[in-house]
Amino acid sequence: MKIARSPLMLTLALALAFGTLSARSAEAHEGHDHEAMKKQEKKIDEALSALPSADQKLATAQRFCPIMTYDRLGSMGTPIKLTIEGKPVFLCCKACKEDAVKGGEKTLKTVAKLRDATETLAELPMNERVAIEAQKYCAVANTSFLGSMGKPIKLEIDGKPVYLCCDGCSKKAKADPAGTLAKAEELIKDGTLEGHDHNHAAHKH
């Protein structure tokens, strides 16, 4: 299943995360990026508004699908609600239902981590939040959601921001800066690929 994403929005998100735009270029595109983000947020708000008010709050707190973890709830229409072991779970689309049910307890743990991350990242400036959500996972502990263990640690490697889940990962990151940067870039690439191609078989996380 293909997901319609704006090429401009994806390009700017990557550029924002790794600082590849010059100050002048960023200024020139700022208005367009802002408008694209506003349109996307409006689309998501409209999709979430179709849910009952209590479910809207839960979906907003979860923010992302536990199966396609880079996909915002509402970006593919009204989220799908499941109950797993008596607890509510929201998915980006029907295609995720089988994997979510099969995952059971693992799915619930992912939802809990997503909610923790959402709560933490909500306190950060929008630009930083966009960059962190583009990377999504720690560049060292690659299955750890950024924000699920508190405010992410930010490093500058070759002039580019790289995010870690906690202080405990800093030593490893600094011991291999090139590898850490490469992994962060790979994580962002995974997110753009997941967004373009809703292929569960290829989903690594």
Q: Give the DSSP per-residue string, 147-177.
A: TBTBSPEEEEETTEEEEESSGGGHHHHHHSH
* pLDDT at 173 (0 to 100): 95
What do you get for the CA distance between the two ends of the chain, in Å?
19
pLDDT in tens, 79-115: 999 999 999 999 999 999 999 999 999 999 999 999 9
* pLDDT at 205 (0 to 100): 45
* pLDDT at 34 (0 to 100): 66
* pLDDT at 39 (0 to 100): 80
pLDDT in tens, 107-140: 999 999 999 999 999 999 988 998 999 999 999 9
pLDDT in tens, 162-172: 999 999 999 99
In the predicted structure, residue 33 carries a pLDDT above the cut 50: yes
* pLDDT at 198 (0 to 100): 57
Q: What is the pTM assigned to this prediction?
A: 0.73
CA distances (Å), origin 101, targets 1, 5, 25, 44, 77? 20, 27, 45, 24, 20
Burial class (CB in 10 A: 0-12, 13-18, 19+), 56: middle
* pLDDT at 195 (0 to 100): 54
* pLDDT at 38 (0 to 100): 77
Residues with Cβ within 8 Å of 155's Cβ and at least 6 positions away in sequence, in order, are 161, 162, 163, 164, 170, 173, 174, 180
Show me where the domains of the chain are located.
Answer: 7-202
Give me the long-range contacts of 170-179 (CB less than 8 A, separation at least 24): 172/140, 173/139, 173/140
189 vs 16, higher pLDDT: 189
pLDDT averaged over the chain?
Answer: 82
